[in-house]
């Protein structure tokens, strides 16, 4: 079917070119025939008279032969017009070829991207299903050294966020207060991460590579967002709390810009009563919590901040 369609398109194009050619030949022939029969006699008769007979004699026609120079100028103008027309059609053809090449390139990039992306997504889902996070809760509850197992660990993580936010608020949001709050997060969360490195490390590294694969791809921005939304759809509950703290700590170094760029914390359970809503707003850019359309408004005409290399 494709071969028949291509052959039909060729003959249609050839017929169109033939019509153009015959039309040009016809117009030029008509002009060539009309010029000496109509235009030249009229020009001779319109010459100023010196009192002698100015009838259209052979001698007069011979003297007016130079008037064909106007016809040459006309043909030269027509030739220039057709050259310009040919250049236009050539530009259109080149533009069409460029678009086809870019489309093929984008399709090739997508075909190279998708298998690895979905392998990473599948691996991340497996790791998350098998992960069991525990915490020795000795930081915020004196005398309690019991082992907390997920999902109870979410309460432990929320207390880290609450304590850091309280330190930040009490310090009136100064640079020093923020530095102290971040130091608390790093100390408390990194202790949790160190105890659960075998579970948290591979899981967060896989997530980072999936997000980084999207950002480093040559896919259009809108397509990148769609794949990032697939990742975001897998995140929720206590994992988002872990991601929130992990991206502010040494184990998650480099993840925070991607969280903000792709709005990965959009669905985090924010609660003004425990201060978690204020915590996220204090330590993350607003883009981390909103949709793509809202992020574009926040970024403005300049677009998103550059991601780390």
Query: Does the pLDDT at position 43 exceed 80?
Result: no
pLDDT of residue 117: 92
Task: Give 242 or 52, the one with higher predicted confidence.
Answer: 242
Nearest residue to 134 via CA among 176, 185, 186, 192: 192
**74 vs 147, more confident:** 74
Q: Which residue has the higher pLDDT, 246 or 277?
A: 246
pLDDT value of residue 276: 54
The whole-number pLDDT of residue 271 equals 61
- How does residue 140 score in pLDDT terms, banded at 50, 70 and 90? very low
Q: Is the pLDDT of residue 156 over 60?
A: yes
Could you give the CA distance from residue 49 to residue 47 in angstroms, rounded to a whole number? Answer: 6
Backbone angles phi, psi at 157, to 5 degrees: -65, -40
**Bridge partner residues of 149 (DSSP):** 134
Output the CA torsion sign for 99, 101, 104, 109: negative
**Which one is predicted more confidently, 84 or 284?**
284
Q: Which residue has the higher pLDDT, 136 or 264?
A: 264
39 or 225, higher pLDDT: 225
Would the pLDDT of 127 be above 50?
yes
């Amino acid at each position: 079917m494709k071969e028949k369609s291509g052959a039909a398109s060729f003959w249609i194009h050839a017929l169109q070119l033939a019509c153009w050619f015959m039309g040009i030949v016809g117009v030029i022939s008509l002009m060539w025939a009309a010029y000496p029969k109509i235009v030249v006699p009229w020009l001779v008769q319109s010459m100023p008279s010196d009192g002698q007979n100015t009838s259209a004699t052979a001698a007069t026609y011979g003297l007016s032969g130079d008037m064909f120079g106007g016809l040459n100028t006309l043909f030269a103008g027509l030739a220039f017009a057709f050259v310009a027309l040919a250049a236009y059609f050539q530009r259109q053809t080149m533009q069409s070829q460029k678009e086809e090449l870019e489309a093929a390139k984008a399709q090739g990039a997508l075909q190279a991207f998708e298998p690895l992306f979905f392998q990473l997504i599948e691996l991340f889902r497996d790791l998350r299903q098998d992960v069991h996070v525990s915490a020795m809760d000795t930081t915020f509850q004196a005398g309690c050294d019991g082992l907390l197992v997920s999902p109870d660990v979410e309460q432990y993580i929320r207390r880290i966020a609450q304590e850091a936010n309280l330190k930040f608020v009490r310090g009136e949001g100064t640079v020093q207060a923020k530095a102290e709050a971040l130091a608390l997060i790093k100390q408390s969360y990194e202790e949790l991460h160190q105890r659960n490195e075998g579970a948290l490390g591979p899981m967060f590294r896989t997530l980072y590579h999936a997000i980084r694969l999207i950002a480093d791809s040559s896919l259009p921005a809108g397509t990148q967002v769609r794949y990032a939304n697939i990742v975001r759809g897998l995140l929720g509950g206590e994992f988002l709390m872990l991601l929130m703290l992990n991206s502010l700590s040494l184990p998650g170094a480099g993840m925070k810009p991607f969280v903000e760029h792709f709005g990965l914390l959009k669905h985090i359970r924010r609660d003004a009563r425990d201060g978690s809503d204020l915590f996220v707003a204090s330590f993350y850019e607003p883009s981390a919590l909103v949709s793509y359309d809202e992020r574009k408004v926040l970024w403005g005409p300049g677009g998103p901040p550059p991601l780390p290399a």
